[in-house]
Amino acid sequence: MPWKETDPMTERLQFIAAYLNQVYSMTELCQRFGIRRNTGYKWVRRYPTEGLAGLQEKSRAPHRCPHRMSEAVEAALLEAKRAHLHWGPRQILPYLAPRRPDLDLPAPSTAGELFHRAGFSPARTRRRRHRHPGASPLQAEAPNAVWTADFKGQFRTGDGLYGYPLTVADAYRRLLCCCSARLSTKQTEARPIFERLFWEYGLPDAIRTDNGAPFATPAFCGLSQLSVWWITLGIRHQRIAPGRPAQHGRHERRHRTLKAEATRPPEPHQQAQQARFDRFCCEYNEERPHEALHDRTPASLYRPSARPMPAKLPAPADPGHSLVRRVSNAGTFRFQSRQIFMSDTLLQEDIALAETADGMWSVSCYDVLLARLDERTFKLYA
């Protein structure tokens, strides 16, 4: 007896004929033909409206592919990436959205894959983030609550001279207040920049720096001429722990972006390098979306401080019950007929001494506690 030959279309037609004759129930019919019930209902549903074509196999391809982009979208993304080589997809997409509202932009991961295929984003090993247990968190709850400042590492311009970029930023709104190319890290180079910023943006509540010059010195309490000037203006100086750059991580990360976009390769001379820094600041503040600001730009959210720069340094408040002493040009002050050395960074500044316990005195400059003095030994303790 020869084998009975059949094919899927023949089986499906026989299934439909048996169903229309109502000889078997759907369950029994599917068991006889060896198919599942949902498959049987599918053929029954298609046949009245599509006929034989409804019994043919159809493509299983998805109707919509979220990873597929039109040529116009790809071209716009690649054009924006070429204009901002150091921006990632999380900056490119918010930047492009208001400029090309006619485009259906993809997810950041899809745009990142496009940049990788185009050779813009080389593969890089993801590093784990380690939190330093001793790091004090950077607390900034409002604009101008904390500014961060630092000198980026020196580099040579085309004329062979070293440049030392001084950067100052608002920790809350991420505004890069300045990036100024200086000839050294001396206080005489830094103070005019801060003075200009205070006149332009007002006074912050605190400034956070590392322990390098000109922000700190080996003097008592790490005071420097610059930090003492800040104290007289009512600005607290926050210093990170020595050897803990992670406590300054937000500012250091900004330096990495600055180095990639504005120093490689360096300009022929300092004037050209400063012009490049100015362009970087303008783009960073006004064009580059910031993920921490919900893809807004720092300039669109920042507001100047309500504390303007005073035309004249304010005098310290009268402590009333305290002893007021002026630090001499030798860095000393008189206490109980003794000359006690304080610091040569406080020359001609008034300090206040208040007794806090039996034989112990607090030593303050304006509202900043600098040290404690033991009147039995005439020694200062930080």
pLDDT of residue 300: 95
In contact, 41 and 26? CB cutoff 8 Å: yes
Pick from 83-97, 194-208, 350-364: least confident: 350-364
- The structure's pTM equals 0.75
Of 151, 144, 204, 211, residue with least CA distance to 182: 151
pLDDT of residue 10: 87
pLDDT of residue 131: 42
Per-residue pLDDT band at 198 (split at 50, 70, 90): very high
Q: State the Cα angle at 157 between 153 and 159, rounded to 5°.
A: 145
Task: Retrieve residue 186's tokens.
Answer: 């001396």
How many whole angstroms separate alpha carbon 241 and alpha carbon 136?
Answer: 8
Helix 37-50 to helix 26-33 angle, to the nearest 10 degrees?
Answer: 100
Tell me the per-residue pLDDT of 36-46, one tens digit each, with 9 for 90 and over.
999 999 989 98
Using the predicted structure, report yes or no on whether residue 202 has a pLDDT greater than 90. yes
Q: Which residues of 348-364 are buried (b: 16+ CB within 10 A; e: fewer)?
A: ebbbbbeeeeeeebbbb
Task: Retrieve residue 220's tokens.
Answer: 């008592």
pLDDT of residue 128: 54
Using the predicted structure, report yes or no on whether residue 132 has a pLDDT greater than 80. no
In sequence order, what are the residues at sequence separation of 6 or more whose Cβ sits closer than 8 angstroms to the Cβ of residue 46?
Answer: 54, 55
